Amino acid sequence: MKPSKMHSFLRHATVCAALSSIGFAAQAADLAAGKAKAETVCAACHGKDGNTPIDPSYPKLAGQYRDFLERALLDYKSGARKNAIMAGQVQPLSRADIENLAAYYASLPGSLRVKR
Ligand code: HEC
């Protein structure tokens, strides 16, 4: 291989490796970290199992779609979704906290059912 070709091959390989590690990071939520935060912060209102909120007007989170949960938390944080209680809850959360919490609640068995 000519040196110039070798160089472009290496550059391509590096870009591919970088892209695939970004893709991997997006997938790898830390369920244990999500569980720890959920139990110390969120359980007070949404219930320890995510299925038993302290008030019927408080939503169940267990088994909800991960991307729905993530979207809701990001929207509370940006102000796109307005709720005085949740705005205060998400304020200290990082993007990684949000991903971990969403993945954790999505992984729990939900009691949500489609009513007929
Ligand atoms: C002080 C009580 C309280 C705490 C603590 C709390 N929440 Fe909430 N949460 C609520 C209420 C009330 C709503 C409904 C708000 C609304 O109508 O938008 C809600 C809504 C949500 C929603 C939207 C669900 C849906 O179906 O639309 C998500 C997701 C959520 N909370 C996640 C969390 C997470 C994660 C934590 C912990 C970091 C947390 N909440 C802590 C009271 C609380």
pLDDT band at residue 6 using 50, 70 and 90 as cut-offs: low
61 alpha carbon – ligand 1 mean position (Å)? 8
Measured from the Cα of 69, ligand 1's closest atom is: 29
Nearest to 76 by CA among 62, 59, 93: 93
Residues with a CB atom less than 6 Å from ligand 1: 41-42, 44-46, 58-59, 61, 69, 72-73, 83, 85-86, 89, 101
CA distance readout (Å), 75 to 12, 17, 18: 37, 32, 29
**pLDDT above 70: percentage of residues in the chain:** 77
- Please report, as a single letter, which amino acid is at residue 83: N
Spatial separation of the C-alpha atoms in residues 52 and 59, rounded to whole Å: 9
* pLDDT beyond 80 at 107: yes
- Given a contact cutoff of 8 angstroms between Cβ atoms, the answer to whether 37 and 100 are in contact is yes
